Amino acid sequence: MKIICIGRNYAKHIEELENERPEHPVVFLKPDSAILPRKNPFFIPPFSDDIHYEVEVLVKINKVGKHISEKFAPKYYDEIGLGIDFTARDVQEKCKEKGLPWEKAKAFDGSAVVGEFYPKEQFDLENLKFQLTKNNVLVQDGNTNEMLWKMDALISYVSQYFTLKKGDIIFTGTPAGVGRVVENDVLVGIIEDKEAFNIRVK
């Protein structure tokens, strides 16, 4: 399985990081070793002093597809979830300055939190509310109605470049409010009224 991540999919997040609004979805990958094992804490890696949380809605692919038309994209997933794309912001900035890939900042071990998945029929995917709290304080408050590219459009776009396979996960982008984590922080992800994950930082 592979993890396909979308960057810069929420306008306010683009603004807070002072990035340029893209013409097309920004796509990068994480290896399966990036997935944080269930019930494990997240350990801040020794190569970064500025790890940021980024909460994201996840889409789990349920069958093989290539060159998928947007109108047929709903047939390729029946579950959604919530996760975190942990980012070594200091490493990322150095990579960006030199025009280098982001993998060291985005794809390191444990950088992908994958919470619970739920049947997509339980939600209005066009108006899906999701949140992240840090130490019981709301830090990110997102809604899929703010996405620049919706889930079906992302599946169609990504499938032009990569064959999608059963079990692949698409991280659909983060809203505004990203920030730094420190030791002993507790991060809780909520999708509508459901707690999708609860992670302690070490």
Q: Which domain holds residue 13?
A: 3-200
Q: What global pTM score does this model have?
A: 0.95
Residue 143 is which amino acid?
N
Q: What is the pLDDT of residues 18-69, one digit of tens each?
A: 677 788 999 999 999 999 999 899 999 999 999 999 999 999 999 999 999 9
What CATH number does the domain containing 57 carry? 3.90.850.10
Average pLDDT for residues 173-192, to the nearest whole number?
97
The answer on pLDDT for 171 being more than 90 is: yes
pLDDT band at 14 (very low <50, low <70, confident <90, very high): low
Phi-psi region of 67 (alpha: psi -120 to 50; beta: other; left: phi over 0): left
Give the model confidence (pLDDT) of 94-129 as tens digits: 999 999 999 999 999 999 999 999 999 999 999 999
Q: Characterise 147 by phi-psi region: left (phi > 0), alpha (psi -120 to 50), beta (else).
A: beta
Q: Which two tokens stand for residue 137?
A: 């304080």
Residue 173 phi, psi (nearest 5)? 110, 160
How many structural domains is the chain composed of? Answer: 1
Angle at 159 between CA 190 and CA 100, to 5 degrees: 80
Instruction: Give whole-number Cα distances, 115 to 35, 48, 51, 95, 172, in Å.
Output: 10, 24, 19, 29, 14
